[in-house]
Structure 1
Amino acid sequence: MTEQQDVSQLITHRFSSLLIGLDMAKQTVIEDKDVELPAFLDQDRDGRQLLRVEKQAQRDKKLNERYQQNFLDKLQGQLNEELKRRIAEQLVDTDTLYNKLIGIPPQLPEVLDIMPVKAASIGRIEPLVATIPWLVNDLIKMVNMPKYRRTDKKGKVIPVESLRMALSFLGLENLKLVIPALAFRRWLPQITDPYPNIKVRLWEHAMGSALSCKKVAEVAGVDAASAFTLGMLHEIGRIAVIRLYFRLFEEVRRDAITEAHEAKMKEEHAALGEIEPSGQCLSDVMEQYSLQTSNWLIERMDLKRVMIAPAMSEVAQFLPIRNMQPLARVLMQGRSYNQYRMLKNHRLINMDEAKLFLRGIQMPSGALAALKDADLRHLNLTFEEN
């Protein structure tokens, strides 16, 4: 394995950890060191030498704690193995993932497909969007936000109350960005305790990847709207894996508790109540299944004009970037650049790693300069002056 492949795997693993939590990401960077306890720890807070009986009590306490932790770790390992087995089993059922776990509306692919057509118009899009109630609500809510509100000549806010008004206000070019973004935000996992920041960082990653892909596509001469849509939706598989993980964790733990109760295993029964979802297990299944699941779900969308499925397939197959079609290459470059930016913001990547990582994604000339000061957090929509 080359040095470039090594750093790419390292960054992938580190980034998966960051999505779960900053502390976990730091643990992937900083290696634990064994440090001998200094002699002064054999004293209490007043500096008094501990009696032999006190030393023995402390040793016994540490041994008990170690035994309990080892016992919990063993149970956690057993739960993790069963959890991974059930996740792998359920990920094969693409229809259930698509229709129930994520809940992709049947009309959404039609909406995405109609927008690039030259003859597309608000009149053609409106009846399709109208069949997706949450999208109607989100669009109207969005255009009434303070940053988008319009006012009349007297400075009075003009409220937008209908779907037609919202669509007309945004316009076709903005809708090509807004609709994929609202869809992805709708699907984000909501309950991820004890890792509450997952949905925040996953949204930041999807938005940053989409905007990075759009910039790279503009430099490389690839369709920017398709690049944005692919960048936005390429992590839909990760959403499915995360949702499945937290749903199945409760199921697996509940089954284990029932089994322990029926077998009268009191120690196991009590310990199972203390076990929480494992960040490391979640990171492992995300790295193993996210891209392939995205590939399955995007194929299932059966898009006819927004041709993102072949590109997603190449990325999910981990083809060498030089062998990829242009849109797949843009996705690899855009998502990798955003991973670098997010890691850099949290001081989780050093300069040498960054140089090697960015060199490996073979950015087109001028792309890094275009991305250097780019805002990768906001859509930055453009509107024609009335």
Structure 2
Amino acid sequence: MTDHSQLKNEITSRFNHMTVSLRLAQRAMGLATESLTFEQTEQGDARRKLLRVEKQAIRDKALNERSHINFVNSIREMLHLEITKRLEEKLRNPDHLYYHVLGFDSRLPELLDLLSVRASSISRIEPIAASMPWLYDELIRLINTPKYRRMDNKGKVVNVDSLRVALSYLGIENLKMIIPSIALRRSLPQITDPFPEIKTRIFDAAIGTAMSCKKLASISELDEYTCFMLGFLHDIGKAVIVRLFFILFDEVQREAIAEAQNERKRDEHSALLEIEPSDEYLMGIIEQYGYALSAELVHKMRFKRLFVAAPMQEFAQQKALNEMSPLAKLLTQAVAYNRYRTLKQHRMISVDEAKDFLSQFHFPKGALSVLKTTDLRELDINMDIF
């Protein structure tokens, strides 16, 4: 393995750690600091000499604590092995994952397809959008927020309650970004304790990658909407895995607690109550299955005009850059650039690492300069065109 390959793998691992938890990423890099124990403090050094019996009591307590920790860890491992087993079984049924876990509306692909054609219009979009009550509610809420609401000639706020008016005010170019954004946010898991950052990280990665794709598309003279959607959908497998993981954790833990209670296994019952979802297990599953599942789910959408399934499959297969189609290559570059920007924001990539890492992706001439000035945290919604 070359140094370049090692660096690419290291950056990928660092970014995936961060998806689960910033603390996990810092720990993996050796940046997390451990708090000082009492024995390491000046106060600890200055304390009186303990009597032999006190020392023995402390040794016994420490041994008991280690024994308890080892017992809890063994229960934790068994619990997570069962979770992983059940999750892998569910991954063999992509239809179930698409229709019952991802949560995308059955008509959403049709709407996203329609937005890709030049002949798209508000009158054609409205009936499909109206068939999805959640989308109607979100668009009405959005258009009435201070950021997007409109004023009449007298300076009074125009309150919008009509879907057609909301669609018209937002406009097709903006809807191309807003509708996927609403759909993805709706599909994210809501409860991911003790790692509340996960849903935000997944959403931010989708925005950052999609905006990088869109900017690279304009430079490479590829269709901006197709590239934007490719970036936006590339991580939906991760969203499904995270949602499944936390559902299965609750399920398996609840079953194990009930079994321990029924069989009067007090120590096991107590240990099970201490256990929380494992960041390492979750990250391992994401790394192993995330992009392959994204490709499966994108294929299930059966787009007729939005040609993103094939490049997503190439990306998931990790083909060599020089063997990829232009769209797959662009996605690979966008994912890499978003990872770099995210890690840079948290000071988790050095200047030398960044230079070596980005050089592997052969960006178009001038692309990095353009991307440097691109906001990857927000959609570039333009309401000034109306």
Shorter-chain TM-score bucket reads over 0.9
Taking structure 1 as reference, are residues 265 and 121 closer, same or farther at Cα in structure 2, changes over 3 Å only? same
Instruction: Map Cα deviations across residues 74-130 of structure 1 (whole Å, 9 max, x no partner).
Output: 111111211111111001111111111112111111101111222211101110111
Distance 2:289 2:39 in 1: 49
> Counterpart of 1:224?
224
Q: Which moved more, 1:178-187 or 1:301-310?
A: 178-187
Displacement of 1:255 in angstroms is 2.3
Question: CA–CA distance in 1 between the matches of 2:30 and 2:285?
Answer: 22
CA displacement, residues 194-248 of structure 1 (integer Å, 9 cap, x when unaligned):
1111111111111111111111111122111111111111111111100100000
Greater than 4 Å deviation, 4+ residue runs: 31-34, 36-46
> After the TM superposition, which residues 1-386 of structure 1 pair with which residues of structure 2 at under 5 Å, given as runs?
1-30=1-30, 44=44, 47-386=47-386
Tell me if the contact between 1:42 and 1:49 (Cα under 8 Å) persists in the aligned partners.
no
- In the alignment, the residues of structure 1 paired with residue 361 and residue 385 of structure 2 have an alpha-carbon distance, to the nearest angstrom, of 39
Q: Find the aligned partners of 1:224 and 1:383 in 2 and give their Cα distance.
A: 19
Q: Deviations over 1:224-276 (max 9, x none)?
A: 11111111111111111001000001111122223333443221121111111
Separation (CA, whole Å) in 1 of partners of 2:250 and 2:224: 41
**Matched residue type, 1:247:** I
The total of aligned residue pairs comes to 386
Which runs of 5 or more structure 1 residues have no equivalent in the other structure?
none
Q: Distance in 1 between matches of 2:322 and 2:159?
A: 50
SS at match of 2:274: coil
The CA deviation string for residues 286-311 of structure 1, in whole angstroms up to 9 with x for no partner, is: 11111011111100000010100001
- Preserved CA contact (<8 Å) 2:39 2:45: no
Equivalent pair of 2:14/2:25 in contact (CA under 8 Å)? yes
Q: Distance in 2 between matches of 1:350 and 1:59?
A: 44
CA shift, 1:385, in A, is: 4.2
Q: CA deviation at 1:45?
A: 7.0
Q: How far off its partner does 1:137 sit?
A: 1.0
CA distance in 1, matches of 2:71, 2:88: 26
SS of residue paired to 1:273: helix
Deviations 1:302-323 (A, max 9, x none): 0010100001100111111221
Structure 1 residue matching 2:264: 3-state secondary structure: coil
Distance 1:33 1:214 in 2: 39
Aligned pair in 2 of structure 1 residues 32, 306: CA closer, same or farther (>3 Å)?
Answer: closer
- Does structure 2 conserve the Cα–Cα contact (< 8 Å) formed by 1:115 and 1:176? yes
Tell me the percent identity: 46
For residues 179-202 of structure 1, what are the alpha-carbon distances to aligned partners after superposition, in whole Å with 9 as ceiling and x for unaligned?
Answer: 111111111110101111111111
Q: Which residue identity does 2:126 align to in structure 1?
A: E
Output the CA distance in 1 between the equivalents of 2:221 and 2:53.
76
Contact 1:42 1:50 in 2 (8 A): no
2:97 & 2:350 partners in 1: Cα distance? 38
1:44 Cα deviation after fit: 4.3
Amino acid at match of 1:308: V
Distance 1:210 1:48, change over 3 A: same
Matched-pair contact (CA < 8 Å) for 1:219–1:367: yes
Greater alpha carbon shift after TM alignment, 49-58 vs 309-318? 49-58
CA 1:168 to 1:42, structure 2 compared with 1: closer, same or farther past 3 Å?
closer
Q: Could you say if the C-alpha distance between residues 58 and 302 of structure 1 is closer, same or farther in structure 2, counting changes exceeding 3 Å?
A: same
Q: CA deviation at 1:46?
A: 5.2
When structure 1 is superposed on structure 2, of 317-326 and 52-61 the one drifting more is 52-61
Q: Which moved more, 1:37-46 or 1:349-358?
A: 37-46
CA distance in 1, matches of 2:170, 2:81: 48
Question: Structure 2: which amino acid aligns with 1:5?
Answer: S
Q: Which runs of 5+ in 2 are unaligned?
A: none
Q: Is the 8 A contact 1:209 1:231 kept in 2?
A: yes
